[in-house]
Structure 1
Amino acid sequence: MSATSVLTKEDVTKKNTTTDVQGNDMNDLVEAASRVITPLSPISMFAARSPWAGLEKQSFEQVADWLKSIRDVDIYPSASIIHSAKERDEIDESFLQLGLQRWLDSHSFHIPRKTAEHFCREALKLNTLPSSLLASPELNKLVEETSGLNTEGIENFSMQPISALIGNQDGESLVNILDHHVIKWCKLYLDDSEAGWTMPNREEGFYRAWRRLIQYDPALSKNQRKRLKDWPQDAQTALIGALSALEIPESKVQNYLEGHLLSLPGWAGMMLWRSQQSSHEHALLTEYLAVRISMEWVLLKPYLPLSIQRPKKEVSIAPLLASWIHWGDLSIEEWSQMSVSEQNEFLSLAYRFDERLRRKLWLEAWEQTHTKRLSQKIISKQGVTNDKKAALAQLAFCIDVRSEPFRRQLEKEGPFETIGVAGFFGVPIATSDLGSNHSHPSLPIIQKPQHQIKELTGENELESYLQRKQVDNSLSYTFKIMKQNVLSSLLLPELSGPWLSLQMVTRSFVPTKAGRFIRNLRKTWLRKPDTGLSINHVYDTDTEIPVGFSKEEKINYVRQTLKMMGLTENFAPLVVICGHGSQSTNNPYAASLECGACGGAAGGFNARVLATLCNLPEVREVLSTEGITIPKDTVFAAAEHKTTVDELQWIYVPELSEPAQEAFNRIEAIMPKVSHNANTERLAQLPNFKSTFKNPTAEAHRFAEDWSEIRPEWGLARNASFIIGQRELTQGSDLEGRAFLHNYNWKQDESGDVLANIIAGPGTVAQWINLQYYASTVAPHYYGSGNKATQTVTAGLGVMQGNASDLLSGLPWQSVMKSDDEAYHSPLRLLIVIQAPRKHIKRLLNNDSAFREKVQNGWVRLASVDSEGRWENW
């Protein structure tokens, strides 16, 4: 594309309409523009996020149209995904026909209804038009004789960078060249101790470090470097200057910034995340845009000034006419006999009933089918009375969809009651492992930790442990330094070769035994002592947040979590708080299989903290005065559900009462069977699992230990619903591991505060997880991260495809696809089901405007089950 390429109308400006933006205004514009991207945390603390969280004031349909127009990104399921779902009988076509009738009723075409319906039904089969028809001389002759179809285009609320519309002498788009430069500088600045040499002047910030080095960049020509020699020292001034030089009108600055953020949403998202982590880098996104648009100006300078007009939008008549011939059974003779106005009506219908709309109707039918079948499972349980025995133990699990099959198998084996609750268990903490000076937030990313909890042990044990740990860390550090040093890297293969070769062979041929041996060897060497927790508040000037809890805080956190769980009476002798974690080898996305809500933190530490607080006599004493009486014989313990192997690993088991010990022994006795049944059900869904294996548990361990295994588990794939209600609502129903389950009793929530907190917290997290899986399935090239086998881990931050791609923000192909041609994840928008009377739901929608917008704009679906067991779709 040459300098005479077409630009949008926003690109055409005059000197008297150029940018006149002040510094404070620019900060506001950058912040507003960031709505089109989402913060991207390092992959080691992977956090599930909706890529459209900042766009929810627009409807899902509006955002879909905008993305298609501005980035050619389609966020409705493809025809192949829809056909596969239809073959699996996941779509009731009666819903599709109802959707079609509603659409036809809402549009006025001067075409016989029977004719319009026939055309639309045939088009809904999603078959492609024959290439022979599109290329036929008869069709082309008709097209030449047909008047054009005038339509109003979609009004974009972002605009493409000018560099996307200009090509160099070799025909390469300048935006691709710009992206290549920007990726290089982002990698240099953001590198997390992976490179041997760090970027000079990095402490001065991204823009200033770039400004110092860009004058020596051999990738730029001498003239390009010269243009930047006297470029402003300040990022805001440079950004304003670059926008002015490009003649971007003030009214379009935010739109232009959005277009640039969407060019590399991964790297821009990482800059946004970093800007939110510390005050030192609060302006990092502004600096990023200053670097990017300054370089765009340098690349575009030879083509300035630009004064290119935007032509009127024209619609291709050929496929519209071909669709009527192929799907509408319209002959060439019949078309020729129509008047111009009649032809325009037929073309208008074909234009409006485009493929995107057809796939939208299929998606809605798919979602309605899922809603109907889930409602049938739930309603069929209503009114059925079971002789419920007193629970021997109560086990609280995370709402994570992987907990549902495990809970179901557990409940089959005895009088056990399971509870669903947010997996950080209401304790907003940052955790510090024994001897570590660093802490890791262990709560949903939408919240900030309020307390730091450290592992503690005796002074002598700690000193000995730290010495052993230092040796372990020193060996890893020395190995890394030798790899990066020019001379020592030549010697390293001779020293490490025998050991690494042996490790490679054993991990390849006997992965389970090798993994267990290496893990046990390290564990034996480190000999981590028994630890306690710093739950009591202590004054520590070295920490930004308090260490431990005050007495009032201990009581408050236990009280609110028990209420959130609906566990305020009828306590079992043993209550187990169960976090969840994962296990895999050689997996950059290992953190994504931990807790997607909590930035890759496993839930075991939080479970131990809550269980410890619940066992404190001073906490129980105060709660008993409030009507929450925990029996003396009731003991709280903590465990972790290992999702890759479906096992329960005990983390904290205090001294047990006699009935609690009986419950503990019973759980231990049935756990092998529970694990076997859960693994049998789960592994059968993996495409590379062979049903001939007699021991599913052993095979699950192999999946976890095999360093060549690209899919150790499915994670949260196929998630589709979030059910908020008592366990009796779903108990015994096979929800296929597709439902987030949160306990809730509306009778104990007169004010509605508990429900509001569930929707604002776990509900938001579940929606983000759902939409991340959705986006990674329907638009993997833009929102996914590609094939695991070809990913490049870069800068210690994330993954790229190759050495110069965007920083990939979504899930890998293997997390959502069963094969190259068949999706495993069903891209359905989350269905939230609330067990509560209608007036409670109306109150929630009236009080929570953000949630109301999500429902009205199609980002989530909403249904309720009232006290009489009646289902209602909202």
Structure 2
Amino acid sequence: MSVTSVLKNENATKEDTNIGFQNSDFDVIIESARQVIAPLWPISTFAARNPWMGLEKQSFDQVAGWLKHTRDVDIYPSVSMILSAKRKGEIDESFVKESLQRWLDSQSFNISQDKVEHFCHSALKLDSLPSNLLSSHELEKLAEEFSELNTNNIDHGSMQPISSHIKGQDSERLLDILDYHVIKWCKLYLDDSQAGWKMPNREDGFYRAWKRLTQYDPALSKKQRDSLKDFPQDAKSALKKALYALEIPESQLQSYLEGHLLSLPGWAGMMLWRSQQSNHEQKLLTEYLAVRVSMEYALMKPYLPISKPIPENKVSIGHLLASWVHWGGLSIEEWSNMSVSEQNEYLTLAYQFDDIVRRKIWLEAWELTYTNRLIQKINFKQSQTNDKKSTLAQLAFCIDVRSEPFRRQLEKEGPFETIGIAGFFGLPIATCELGNKHSHSSLPVILKPQNKIKELAEENAFNSYQQRKKIVNSLSNTFKNMKQNVLSSLLLPELSGPWLTLQMVARSFTPRSADPFIHKLRESWLRKPNTKLSLDHVHNTEEELPVGFSKEEKVKYVNQALKLMGLTANFAPLVVICGHGSQSTNNPYASALECGACGGAAGGFNAKVLATLCNLPEVREELSSEGIEIPEDTVFVAAEHKTTVDELEWIYIPELSEAAKEAFDRIQAIMPKVSEHANAERLSQLPNFKRKLNKPTAEAHRFATDWSEVRPEWGLARNAAFIIGQRELTKECDLEGRAFLHNYDWKQDENGDLLANIMAGPGTVSQWINLQYYASTVAPHYYGSGNKATQTVTSGIGVMQGNGSDLLAGLPWQSVMKSDDEAYHSPLRLLIVIQAPNEYVERLLKEDSVFREKVQNGWVRLANVDPEGRWKNW
């Protein structure tokens, strides 16, 4: 994480706003600095994000050390989490010994092996050093007599903003005052129609809008406003001027900008995301830094010049000596009789085997325990004689971990085959629902849509529907405008009070009845007509994306989806393409419970598109010529798995063949039982339920409609593995809803393209989800979003705690914790298991340098099961 400056100019003057920096080089510095943050999507399109996605060229251990050193952020599980997992039997202590031995083998100390092992084993009990020992006068005296330990500290390289070292007149750090100002301006600029008044001059960009308005900011003194008056109009020039005025050395510019980005990583992440969405705002992160550092200069000007603080790397000798007394059984007399070199060896061991290393060893043991137990569950002796002909229906579900328990319950009830595939089904589309002018992407956020699919209806029915929809929208807009208008807001409570009071009482005391009633009332008024999809390509130059598909694209996407599912032969009479969606009320994080990859988009629309394409005669004819023969009586239908209530909602059912109708009726008959069992399993994991449920499905519906419920479901909590292989490998295995399951048959993937695509798409997204949950659990104050009950939705884009915090980027406390003291999510790095010969994995690692980097640097763990059923950890 050390920073190397690329700026070269020794002849700069303070009057020169360019201060000798070359524009291209400065762009490189900003681009390099921004790797320490990750893009943050608006909460309405919440997508799981790996907060360290720009840092994966470093090892997990290096990043952990760097974050601890620079931000005091700890990304290893806490001692209390580890001890809780140990009590619950989630950690096998034999793996702790194995992990310790690997660490010892990598070290070298001039101390007897017995003493080293005794000290380390004792320290790994994770008990705290006694306070009376740490404050011992005798120990303090011995520590003072010892010369400073030479620890060869590495400069982790992150220069903190100099405002963090200065306090104002009210003893508040200038950095906190700076954050307050920056948050205020970010909220104004990024507002997504929540505020009644928009920020003036916003179309000119963040920096210019801020520069004009800051001259009227009453929160700044006249001197502070005057110091900003003559700043350049160009953001980059202003940033350079502020950095030079603050006397930041050229060699530390990148590190200094990193420090500023890490001060408010949420707001900076939102600026980064916006900069990636359009050419108009592609310099937005530079503008953000210009505003922030210019404002820092205005606050710091009375204190300039200041002497640069020297980072303190001094080691507490007393603490290290106390650890030897407590864990190593060392007496004061034994210490006093040692030579200085021996004492240095003992202290070096205690220094290197610190709290972070100890918790790293426990994390590795935790991960190894999970891996070992997964090995014991997996069906290595899978049957090779499955009778596909007896299969009534094949159901393709998203790889989402919430699908696994539902699939398991479904398979118990009859001759059904379930399949795992990424829930957008390989369709790179933006969807436009009936009557909407705007479309939204319906695919993972790491991809860009290539086609637009619209919902269409007959003209008369469409016009009538639009009129009714306009009335609803007009009422909503009128209500909002009246709230924000000074005079009409006085009248609004009198007009809306009776209706809103009735609604509040009904939703509070009878949520299961009230919410469906309100929903049905709205739907019966709108009366959305029957729709069809614009699947055929339409040439329209006004559209930014092609509407519909060409014939070649239809065949290509169906072919690709079927191969990813491993469904190229032995088709059942009924094939169900199942998207998934969630349901909750009064929940800012509702989109986080939808697809974790697709920005909060549910998968039903994509399922309907794929099923419709699969039923087209012209598509089947072309597939037949490519060796994929779909029987005439096989019918594709589409459904959506509602994860909060574990039910299937049918969204596309064409005319069924006799065999398909039999299969459909069978699924309908067993679905109540499947839902009942799946809900009982899922709800039993929620902290509210310690008793046996009589009506789990009814209770699940209450959770989905109760607007006071902070935890309608667990989402993807406890995810731990991504298994790529045939269903026979995991069938009848209770994976506890912790595994992403993607079908894969290596025999149909001779050149490895399918595996490479799975790893580049679903594999990457699964890792992002895993690290999002990991980070929100181990460092909730920095990467989480706190308690849902105290969150404030701000600017229509995200949440804060209170009215002046960072824009919170992670998951709420209720998504990962059972209680204040007990985590529900187990913070384990994702284990990727591939069912394929070793040479397939070797080829993947050789050809995919990004994935190889993740494995080598400890961001994911990798294993494979070869054709003989042998397990190998990579």
TM-score (norm: length of structure 1): 0.97
Q: Structure 1 residues 312 and 463 mapped into 2: Cα distance closer, same or farther (>3 Å)?
A: closer
Q: Which runs of 5+ in 2 are unaligned?
A: 14-18
Supply the RMSD in Å over aligned alpha carbons.
Answer: 1.6
- Residue in structure 2 matched with residue 580 of structure 1 by the alignment: 580
Structure 2: distance between partners of 1:598 and 1:273:
15
1:832 Cα offset (Å)? 0.3
- Residue in structure 1 matched with residue 171 of structure 2 by the alignment: 171
Kindly indicate whether residue 760 of structure 2 is the aligned counterpart of residue 760 of structure 1.
yes
Kindly indicate whether residue 232 of structure 2 is the aligned counterpart of residue 248 of structure 1.
no
1:387 Cα offset (Å)? 6.2
1:312 Cα offset (Å)? 6.3
Structure 2: distance between partners of 1:9 and 1:637:
57
Kindly indicate whether residue 418 of structure 2 is the aligned counterpart of residue 449 of structure 1.
no
1:692 Cα offset (Å)? 4.4
1:178 Cα offset (Å)? 0.6
Q: 1:273-292 deviations in whole A, cap 9, x for unaligned?
A: 11111111111111000000
1:142 Cα offset (Å)? 2.0
Q: Structure 1 residues 384 and 629 mapped into 2: Cα distance closer, same or farther (>3 Å)?
A: closer
Letter of the aligned partner of 1:178 in structure 2? L
Question: 1:97-246 alignment to 2 at 5 Å?
Answer: 97-246=97-246
Q: Structure 1 residues 112 and 856 mapped into 2: Cα distance closer, same or farther (>3 Å)?
A: same
Q: Is the 8 A contact 1:224 1:298 kept in 2?
A: yes
Q: 1:164-210 deviations in whole A, cap 9, x for unaligned?
A: 12222333221111100000000000001111111111111100000
- Residue in structure 2 matched with residue 820 of structure 1 by the alignment: 820
Structure 2: distance between partners of 1:720 and 1:333:
49
Kindly indicate whether residue 416 of structure 2 is the aligned counterpart of residue 424 of structure 1.
no
1:25 Cα offset (Å)? 2.5
Q: Is the 8 A contact 2:10 2:20 kept in 1?
A: no
Question: 1:797-836 alignment to 2 at 5 Å?
Answer: 797-836=797-836
Kindly indicate whether residue 43 of structure 2 is the aligned counterpart of residue 64 of structure 1.
no
Q: Structure 1 residues 15 and 169 mapped into 2: Cα distance closer, same or farther (>3 Å)?
A: farther
Q: Structure 1 residues 151 and 67 mapped into 2: Cα distance closer, same or farther (>3 Å)?
A: same
Structure 2: distance between partners of 1:312 and 1:419:
56
SS in 2 for 1:498: helix
Kindly indicate whether residue 843 of structure 2 is the aligned counterpart of residue 843 of structure 1.
yes
1:259 Cα offset (Å)? 1.1
Kindly indicate whether residue 644 of structure 2 is the aligned counterpart of residue 644 of structure 1.
yes
- Residue in structure 2 matched with residue 623 of structure 1 by the alignment: 623
Structure 2: distance between partners of 1:543 and 1:596:
28
- Residue in structure 2 matched with residue 44 of structure 1 by the alignment: 44
Kindly indicate whether residue 730 of structure 2 is the aligned counterpart of residue 730 of structure 1.
yes
SS in 1 for 2:639: strand
Structure 2: distance between partners of 1:273 and 1:297:
26
Q: 1:512-536 deviations in whole A, cap 9, x for unaligned?
A: 0001110111111110011000001
1:389 Cα offset (Å)? 5.9
- Residue in structure 1 matched with residue 393 of structure 2 by the alignment: 393
Structure 2: distance between partners of 1:428 and 1:177:
45
Letter of the aligned partner of 1:668 in structure 2? Q
Q: Is the 8 A contact 1:17 1:249 kept in 2?
A: no
Q: Is the 8 A contact 2:776 2:784 kept in 1?
A: yes
SS in 1 for 2:215: helix
Q: Structure 1 residues 14 and 456 mapped into 2: Cα distance closer, same or farther (>3 Å)?
A: closer
Q: 1:762-787 deviations in whole A, cap 9, x for unaligned?
A: 00000000000000000000000000
SS in 2 for 1:800: strand
- Residue in structure 1 matched with residue 740 of structure 2 by the alignment: 740
- Residue in structure 1 matched with residue 869 of structure 2 by the alignment: 869
Q: Is the 8 A contact 2:397 2:419 kept in 1?
A: yes
Q: Is the 8 A contact 2:9 2:20 kept in 1?
A: no
- Residue in structure 1 matched with residue 550 of structure 2 by the alignment: 550
Letter of the aligned partner of 1:794 in structure 2? T
Structure 2: distance between partners of 1:379 and 1:407:
16
SS in 1 for 2:832: strand
SS in 1 for 2:369: helix
Aligned length: 865
- Residue in structure 1 matched with residue 262 of structure 2 by the alignment: 262
1:157 Cα offset (Å)? 3.6
Q: Is the 8 A contact 1:596 1:769 kept in 2?
A: yes
Q: 1:745-766 deviations in whole A, cap 9, x for unaligned?
A: 0000001000000000000000
Structure 2: distance between partners of 1:241 and 1:267:
23
- Residue in structure 2 matched with residue 518 of structure 1 by the alignment: 518
| Deviates most, 301-310 or 383-392 | 383-392
SS in 2 for 1:576: strand
Structure 2: distance between partners of 1:732 and 1:455:
39
Structure 2: distance between partners of 1:806 and 1:16:
39
SS in 2 for 1:648: strand
Q: Structure 1 residues 727 and 136 mapped into 2: Cα distance closer, same or farther (>3 Å)?
A: same
Letter of the aligned partner of 2:699 in structure 1? E
1:258 Cα offset (Å)? 1.2
- Residue in structure 2 matched with residue 285 of structure 1 by the alignment: 285
Q: Structure 1 residues 62 and 115 mapped into 2: Cα distance closer, same or farther (>3 Å)?
A: same
Question: 1:620-769 alignment to 2 at 5 Å?
Answer: 620-689=620-689, 691-769=691-769
SS in 2 for 1:571: coil
1:546 Cα offset (Å)? 0.4
Letter of the aligned partner of 2:614 in structure 1? C
Question: 1:313-462 alignment to 2 at 5 Å?
Answer: 313-382=313-382, 390-462=390-462
1:376 Cα offset (Å)? 1.6
1:161 Cα offset (Å)? 1.2
1:155 Cα offset (Å)? 2.1
Kindly indicate whether residue 470 of structure 2 is the aligned counterpart of residue 477 of structure 1.
no
Structure 1: distance between partners of 2:503 and 2:311:
64
Q: Is the 8 A contact 1:468 1:526 kept in 2?
A: yes
Structure 1: distance between partners of 2:43 and 2:843:
39
SS in 1 for 2:198: coil
TM-score (norm: length of structure 2): 0.97
Structure 1: distance between partners of 2:4 and 2:649:
62
Q: Is the 8 A contact 2:183 2:806 kept in 1?
A: yes
Structure 2: distance between partners of 1:384 and 1:765:
31
SS in 2 for 1:228: helix
1:381 Cα offset (Å)? 4.3
Structure 2: distance between partners of 1:560 and 1:693:
43
| Deviates most, 526-535 or 128-137 | 128-137
1:584 Cα offset (Å)? 0.1
- Residue in structure 1 matched with residue 16 of structure 2 by the alignment: none
1:26 Cα offset (Å)? 2.3
Letter of the aligned partner of 2:460 in structure 1? N
- Residue in structure 2 matched with residue 298 of structure 1 by the alignment: 298
Letter of the aligned partner of 1:87 in structure 2? R
Structure 2: distance between partners of 1:585 and 1:738:
25
1:457 Cα offset (Å)? 0.3
SS in 1 for 2:109: coil
Q: Is the 8 A contact 1:794 1:800 kept in 2?
A: yes
SS in 2 for 1:409: helix
Structure 2: distance between partners of 1:552 and 1:736:
41
Q: Structure 1 residues 499 and 796 mapped into 2: Cα distance closer, same or farther (>3 Å)?
A: same
SS in 2 for 1:233: coil
Structure 1: distance between partners of 2:626 and 2:311:
72
Q: Is the 8 A contact 1:592 1:600 kept in 2?
A: yes
SS in 2 for 1:864: strand
SS in 2 for 1:608: helix
Kindly indicate whether residue 113 of structure 2 is the aligned counterpart of residue 90 of structure 1.
no
SS in 2 for 1:216: coil
Q: 1:854-874 deviations in whole A, cap 9, x for unaligned?
A: 000000000000011110000
Structure 2: distance between partners of 1:99 and 1:426:
40
- Residue in structure 2 matched with residue 796 of structure 1 by the alignment: 796
Structure 1: distance between partners of 2:758 and 2:254:
34
Q: Is the 8 A contact 2:380 2:869 kept in 1?
A: no
Q: Structure 1 residues 559 and 386 mapped into 2: Cα distance closer, same or farther (>3 Å)?
A: closer
Letter of the aligned partner of 2:71 in structure 1? R
1:830 Cα offset (Å)? 0.3
1:794 Cα offset (Å)? 0.3
Structure 2: distance between partners of 1:474 and 1:442:
28
1:736 Cα offset (Å)? 0.3
Structure 2: distance between partners of 1:336 and 1:184:
59
SS in 1 for 2:462: helix
